Structure 1
């Protein structure tokens, strides 16, 4: 992780000035998500889902950083607060899964949505599966082991379905655990996922070693297609024109209901200044605006955004 931090900071500072790096650090303990960077005592946070963001953690603290010392301090602080305990095989066993997420964002130079570029790098430390007969877990340790094994089983099930050639017809049960919900984008999204398998050279641990290697072997077969999500200029202009047309039609309908004079033209993107209601005075036109926008694509978005804001303002006034 430290080498990854060094590489990321060197790349952003040398070749990509103006990028903003931020980090969040959470753990999944007994199927509860806890913020490890929160200044208050960690409390369970809900995992939500939306069409635009997918699965996300609500009220999660994100801290900006710009140096290796800062991110390492955040990592050490979160690791110190992470749940750990001793059992028969390990004197310092992790009792939770941990996710350190680094978000890379280029600050937008304009309010346009296409000018914002983002990326995510997620480091996941999975707690190891446990055999209660070997660890001697009881009481609270037994509950923790059961939750760890259950979430790893759900993760393995999702991976098995993702490598199935018939997966297009299969439902991927990401909702079976908090871990699979938060890793849904990494496993079946548009990024790249790597897994590092930690195994033991001891012959005593041969069964666990084989299971771990089989687990990693299945994960290696998961194929994703890295995609840079960008809004093309043509698609953005088309969506703006459609939104302006819808607002124009709504404004005309409102004018008819209010019995105001019909001033906006049909079929052309006329430039309308904000009106003063109810007197409705002081409107102006710029006929032929649409053709001018197509001849000047560099300024088309700015013109359409200004026109859209004026229609929205007029709509609110009506």
Structure 2
């Protein structure tokens, strides 16, 4: 399926920046990032900002990832685009969920809204990968008047839960959560650096390279005084949500979209749900979104991290059109 942009044509980075620099001389390659910490009721949301002061784009990472997922893309963005990449709860350098609290997908929307209010944005552009893409979609359906543009990388929609599956899923999640809570105060396993890198690569299947694993580990691990490393994520992240969303509920969020929407789908990954289900919701996108584009990009689920040169030009072009009119 091809909508809006050619799936077979990739814009080379050099060609893209040569073209855009010729029409916008003030736009140069991105500056070094600045670390930020946003206070919230139960701690803080950590993140980093590239090109502070430009048109804001909020970067939303996938499950078990962190703000480092944009380390390759961000330096390739034009300087008039400001990428604010956050670590969701329990990821990267952000606070974990409080003891006794279970996470839910809607908690991601609450985090996004806290960040939006912190910066005083009346409108926001969203750049999401996987879980972050799904959260961006749901936020855009929850607050359609606030989202100007949304890019979803390797996700057409959040994975839905059929109602008949829900009771068993809930029971499984409750049991796993209680078991995980009993281990929260224990010391995590430690590894030498090469081993933790290897474990990171293996845990993602064939989705990330060794280089990408090292990038994620910068925010996703802690080094101990003895030189050993351990993962720093909240172990409760591995537990499935107690309640999922049905496809019917997701369609209601899609019906409320008003933003421009661009889906960049990796070729090496499946659609995650039946093709007819994805087609149905994309038909809603075409009707409700201000503009809808769909493009395929060659690569794995983490194509933006492994090969940012394939992703940065097209998303830069998508967001720069908005920036040029502000």
TM over 0.5: no
Structure with the greater relative contact order (CA < 8 A, sep ≥ 6): 1 or 2?
Answer: 2
TM-score, normalized by length of structure 2?
0.27
Normalising by structure 1, report the TM-score.
Answer: 0.28
